[in-house]
Amino acid sequence: MRDFSIDHSALALNTASLGHNLDGHGAGWEPERIIDACAARGFGSIVFWRREIGTRAIAIGERARAAGLSVAGLCRTPFLVGTQAIDKAMVLDEAKASIDMAAGLGAAVLTIVVGGVHPGTKGTAESLKIVADRVAALAPYAAERNVKLALEPLNPVYAGNRSCLTTMRDAVDICDAVDAPNLGIAVDVYHVWWDNDLDTQLQRAGKHRIFGYHLCDWLADTSDVLLDRGMMGDGVADLKALRKSVEGAGYAGPCEVEIFSANTWWKRDPGEVLDVMVDRFRTVC
Amino acid sequence: MRDFSIDHSALALNTASLGHNLDGHGAGWEPERIIDACAARGFGSIVFWRREIGTRAIAIGERARAAGLSVAGLCRTPFLVGTQAIDKAMVLDEAKASIDMAAGLGAAVLTIVVGGVHPGTKGTAESLKIVADRVAALAPYAAERNVKLALEPLNPVYAGNRSCLTTMRDAVDICDAVDAPNLGIAVDVYHVWWDNDLDTQLQRAGKHRIFGYHLCDWLADTSDVLLDRGMMGDGVADLKALRKSVEGAGYAGPCEVEIFSANTWWKRDPGEVLDVMVDRFRTVC
């Protein structure tokens, strides 16, 4: 395993951790200010959300690289299935727009959150087949633009309306079925920390299909399943064991801190939050 | 698969579905009234909670059988691990008291909800080893009293503080490790509906280790992960496929309706709720 205590250049910020500057959350920092704050603290890369980019993808990407940061990723495609994704042509068009944005930004990876159970079906299996079909339609378009697509399984609590994809096992199954060189998976501690089958599935995925590792912690007595994620070290996820599995399967890329935390971290000064991240990354991850 | 449209004698009520008569929920029906209401509607069995039984286990069990119902189960042991279960001797004593109550009631099965991540550990794997150790200590005591112990995996959203046991895979692993003839698993739709590995794990468990099948539905846009369960047919779980897996693995026992629903079903008249259960059981389960 890499030794982060002496080198935190693998640390990446997912800008969601600073509150998105939406809905009254966050300190109102523009992408440029966030880039500079990360660069000053030795972060190696950054991950943006589409809402922050607007029409400025190329400029923001260049600005990040000029500051010494790589753009590790962009969040995210629209839902590919579920009640918001009934019209296949419309979904694919919007997904292609997100691929275009990732390409403009120079983002290495575009994350896919697949959406919930598709109308007219029950359970998750049928929806996952539709996901595979739609991902297969998008992968070549993304490949032409040098964008990798990362399927991210979410915690099963979201299976109804956000992600019928809940396990790494199902994600690797889709990768196998679609079999595109730029399709892989993203591993998010929040979503998979409980899964004792994870190590086996990451071995199945292999180093060429693990496109991201997202850090936070699961608070034992979490008060909200969307906006109460913990800072690394404050929860019950076994962060060392999870990284051992991810790196054991060959992953050596960025470790992206993604903490949705309306009542704790989003209320703090962004600079302080970034300082805490660096400290925790070097000590408990 | 059994045909419930012509015979609903497999239908069991878990009394939680009527609101427990606690915290302002429920219509205040005593166990005797619930027993009579179930018997009148052709339910085959009933499952109680310890809080409803008090010191009247023997009398309530006899009353249920006199009305033509079997007592399919009792909910539940105390947590075996987690912050509320640090003192092993105390935990085992309280668990044995719950076994005694199940024996007095003549309940076929005592459900085990294992508790969250144990203090001093991270992740779920270490906690599950402690669960296995404590279950192994309880199984002979239960066997002497003719009580089966059913490990119930809960939805991973509860892994921090209610159940570090989140998958049927982990549950069957514990059954294999402990290897007691009266130790098995309970399958609850709410907790496992998203798991595409379920069928494989139920085959592993086999007919002699599946001790219960719990019905409800997962509402796609659920508003609360504890008290907003859906009535069968109102959600996105594939109930037919789940029962096919359970029965395909050899299970032919009661199907127990367990719906925690503070804002919908607990506000309705218990008699009406039971009528709806019968109808849904015969049509969509």
Q: Is A228 exposed, middle or buried (0-12, 13-18, 19+ CB in 10 A)?
A: middle
pLDDT digits (tens, 9 = 90+) for A38-92: 999 999 999 999 999 999 999 999 999 999 999 999 999 999 999 999 999 999 9
Split at pLDDT 50, 70, 90, the class of A22 is low
CB contact residues (below 8 A), chain A span 123-142, against chain B: 123-125, 128
pLDDT digits (tens, 9 = 90+) for A101-117: 999 999 999 999 999 99
* CA atoms of A215 and B115, how far apart (whole Å): 25
Q: Where are the domains of chain A?
A: 45-50+71-260
Helix (H) or strand (E) holding B41: none
Taking the alpha carbons at both ends of chain B, their separation in whole angstroms is 11
Number of H helices, E strands in chain B: 10, 8
- Selected for mutation to probe chain B from A196, A200, A223, A240 (highest B CB count within 10 Å) is A196
**Does residue A170 sit at the B interface (CB-CB below 8 Å)?**
yes
Give B28's DSSP letter: -
**Average pLDDT of chain B?**
96
* CA atoms of B42 and A33, how far apart (whole Å): 68
pLDDT digits (tens, 9 = 90+) for A148-196: 999 999 999 999 999 999 999 999 999 999 999 999 999 999 999 999 9
Give the per-residue pLDDT at A28: 79
For A45-50+71-260, CATH number out of 3.60.70.12, 3.40.640.10, 3.20.20.150, 3.40.1160.10 equals 3.20.20.150
CA distance B233 to chain A (A): 10
**Does residue A220 sit at the B interface (CB-CB below 8 Å)?**
yes
Q: Which fold has domain B11-284?
A: TIM Barrel (3.20.20)
Across the interface, whether the CB atoms of B239 and A122 are under 8 A apart is answered yes
Give the per-residue pLDDT at A21: 62
CA distance A100 to chain B (A): 31
Give the per-residue pLDDT at B52: 92
* CA atoms of A281 and A231, how far apart (whole Å): 10
Across the interface, whether the CB atoms of B225 and A167 are under 8 A apart is answered no
In this complex, how many residue pairs, one in chain A and one in chain B, have their CB atoms less than 8 Å apart? 110
**Does residue A86 sit at the B interface (CB-CB below 8 Å)?**
no
| A-chain residues near B237 (CB < 8 A) | 122-123
Is B28's pLDDT higher than 90?
no
- List the one residue out of B89, B198, B106, B186 whose CA is nearest residue B147: B106
pLDDT digits (tens, 9 = 90+) for A150-162: 999 999 999 999 9
Split at pLDDT 50, 70, 90, the class of A225 is very high
DSSP string, B165-182: ---HHHHHHHHHHH--TT
Q: Radius of gyration (Cα) for chain A, nearest Å?
A: 18
ipTM value for the complex = 0.96
Across the interface, whether the CB atoms of A155 and B156 are under 8 A apart is answered yes
Give the per-residue pLDDT at B20: 74
A52 to each of A18, A29, A60, A201, how far by Cα in Å?
12, 10, 10, 33
| B-chain residues near A128 (CB < 8 A) | 196
CA-nearest residue to A233 within chain B is B122
A124 to each of A198, B128, B167, B249, how far by Cα in Å?
19, 27, 16, 20
Query: Torsions phi, psi of B143, nearest 5?
Result: -60, -40
Across the interface, whether the CB atoms of A237 and B122 are under 8 A apart is answered yes
Across the interface, whether the CB atoms of A159 and B194 are under 8 A apart is answered yes
CA angle (B34 as vertex; B32, B37 as ends), nearest 5: 110
**Average pLDDT of chain A?**
96
Q: Average of pLDDT values for A203-232?
A: 97
Give the per-residue pLDDT at A80: 98
Cβ atoms of A1 and A35 closer than 8 Å = no
Question: Number of C-alpha atoms within 13 angstroms, CB side, residue A159?
Answer: 32
**Does residue B171 sit at the A interface (CB-CB below 8 Å)?**
no
B56 to each of B32, B59, B117, B197, B243, how far by Cα in Å?
11, 5, 34, 41, 34
pLDDT digits (tens, 9 = 90+) for B170-223: 999 999 999 999 999 999 999 999 999 999 999 999 999 999 999 999 999 999
DSSP string, B45-78: EEEEEHHHHTT-HHHHHHHHHHTT-EEEEEE-PP
Give the per-residue pLDDT at B241: 98
Q: Measured between CB atoms, which of B155, B161, B219 is closest to A220?
A: B161
In the structure encoding, which two tokens stand for residue A225, read together?
């399943």
3-class SS at A276? helix
Across the interface, whether the CB atoms of B169 and A241 are under 8 A apart is answered no
**Does residue B220 sit at the A interface (CB-CB below 8 Å)?**
yes
H-helix segments, chain A: 31-40, 50-53, 57-66, 88-105, 125-144, 168-178, 189-192, 198-205, 239-248, 270-283
Query: Torsions phi, psi of B75, nearest 5?
Result: -105, 125
In the structure encoding, which two tokens stand for residue B59, read together?
């009398």
pLDDT digits (tens, 9 = 90+) for A236-257: 999 999 999 999 999 999 999 9
* CA atoms of B88 and B82, how far apart (whole Å): 11
Is B21's pLDDT higher than 80?
no
Q: Average of pLDDT values for B238-262?
A: 98
- Selected for mutation to probe chain A from B84, B122, B168, B204 (highest A CB count within 10 Å) is B122
Is B23's pLDDT higher than 80?
no
3-class SS at A265? helix
Give the per-residue pLDDT at B24: 63
- Selected for mutation to probe chain A from B165, B196, B215 (highest A CB count within 10 Å) is B196
